[in-house]
Amino acid sequence: MTPQPLETAATEALLAFWRDAGVDACYLDAPVDRTIFVAPPAPQVMHKASATVTALHGGQHGGMSSADAVNEARRLAAAATTMDELAEAVAAFEGCPLRAMGAKQAVFGRGNAKGSILLIGEAPGETEDLRGEPFVGQAGQLLDRMLAAAGLADQVFMTNTVFWKPPGNRPPSPQEQAACAPFVERAFALMQPKAVLLVGAAAAKSVLNTDEGLMKIRGQWREWSPSEGGISTPVMTTLHPAFLLRQPQAKRVAWADMLSLAARLDTAQVEPKA
């Protein structure tokens, strides 16, 4: 039976909801008849399969290992003294595997590099890949309107956990995020924001190093202490604007997050300096 258009749309919306809520894996790709017992493979077979995968992929990023990619990212990031120099360092970085997966260009950041809020999203999309700036598609336009309505538009610098568009707009992998993390932390060190806003589950998991679901941590204030600089800053997670486009009823809680961010920023600005 061919699914009706409304059923298809409802299914797609539900799947999108669970993805943005932090459900990023299935048990299996195909159904399994649990009435039939299948013996597990022998340990040596499993070990051989694992070794084969390692030999084929081995964590190689642009001809370098995962560890070497992170070290190279740290070296390039540390040499940058401005956001413009950091953007050039990102463009020169070859250690993220996404670079060779069809992305047209590196997408680093946009906004006020001297502002009070560092906004970190997931990954560039198709429009961002074409224009070379984050959050410039339909979802980004919604985000801009929300920030403007909260009086925060001129206080934000936007970036992502990775700087190249993942194929098929899939979420970036932890390995891809780890390769780009030194640049995100360097942006934090150069900007020294008064608050950090994490947009979506992938950003929250990467920055906060947590497996908690998005709906559990959304709207909560926590502290983020990047490895560089030895300073910490209040950080909050909110819903991704792409999710809000699919689930408009969720705009209410996202707007509450924006108001909480604005209030936190106001409080930070009136606090006396030590």
Where do runs of H (alpha helix) occur along the chain? 5-20, 43-57, 66-79, 83-92, 126-131, 138-149, 174-191, 201-208, 214-217, 241-246, 251-270
Domains in the chain, CATH or no CATH each: 61-270 (3.40.470.10)
Task: Give the whole-angstrom CA distance, residue 222 versus residue 264.
Answer: 12
Q: What is the pLDDT of residue 60?
A: 52
* Contacts (Cβ under 8 Å, ≥6 apart) of 170: none
Q: What is the pLDDT of residue 54?
A: 34
Q: What is the pLDDT of residue 11?
A: 72
Q: Give the type of residue at 56.
A: L
Q: What is the pLDDT of residue 176?
A: 97
Task: Give the whole-angstrom CA distance, residue 27 versus residue 38.
Answer: 17
Helix (H, G, I), strand (E, B) or coil at 222: strand
Q: What is the pLDDT of residue 57?
A: 40
Under a CB-based contact definition with an 8 Å cutoff, are residues 196 and 224 in contact? yes
Q: What is the pLDDT of residue 23?
A: 61
Max CA pair span of the chain: 69
Q: Is the pTM of this model over 0.75?
A: yes
Task: Give the whole-angstrom CA distance, residue 211 versus residue 234.
Answer: 19
- Give how far Cα 59 sits from Cα of 54, 187, 206, Å: 8, 25, 18
- Mean pLDDT, each 10-residue run in order, the chain (274 residues): 61 68 55 49 38 39 82 97 98 96 97 98 97 97 98 97 96 96 97 97 95 94 83 95 96 97 84 48
